[in-house]
């Protein structure tokens, strides 16, 4: 996409074969005059939550860093992520959270390091 956004879902599945859901999105954002970064946010909502809870994960890097990403390697980070993740890179900060529920709310906050977020 022209704005730098990318979307990834790990593997296709048949509707009669429930597995939950997992996906990653990369957004490009400006953090200073003529300075941009790519922010990847990822979530996993497993079907059988008694073996693994919902997970949220994020990373920030230079523009184009995720273009050649090996998405299976990124996906394998999710089991260790937990329900909250924070990433900082230069003046960029991203924080993601997901509820522990079957239809959870997922929140992603993308800000500059110097920005204070009081509530969401």
State pTM to two decimals: 0.79
Our CA angle for 7, 107, 88, nearest 5°, is 80
pLDDT score for 120: 57
The answer to whether position 118 is within a domain reads: no
The answer to whether position 60 is within a domain reads: yes
Calculate the alpha carbon distances from 87 to 13, 26, 34, 52 in Å: 30, 14, 21, 23
* Structural domain count of the chain: 1
The answer to whether position 92 is within a domain reads: yes
pLDDT one-digit tens code per residue, 69-117: 778 888 888 878 899 999 999 999 999 999 998 889 999 999 887 766 6
Could you tell me the residue range of the domain that residue 101 belongs to? 6-112
């Amino acid at each position: 996409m022209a704005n730098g956004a990318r979307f990834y879902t790990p593997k296709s599945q048949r509707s009669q074969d429930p597995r939950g859901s997992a996906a990653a999105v990369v957004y490009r954002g400006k953090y200073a005059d003529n300075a941009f970064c790519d922010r990847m946010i990822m979530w996993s909502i497993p079907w059988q939550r008694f073996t693994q809870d919902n997970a949220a994960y994020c990373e920030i890097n230079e523009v184009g860093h995720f273009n050649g990403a090996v998405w299976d390697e990124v996906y394998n980070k999710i089991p260790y992520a937990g329900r909250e993740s924070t990433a900082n890179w230069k003046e960029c900060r991203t924080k993601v959270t997901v509820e522990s529920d079957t239809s959870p709310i997922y929140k992603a906050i993308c800000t500059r390091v110097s920005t204070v977020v009081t509530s969401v």
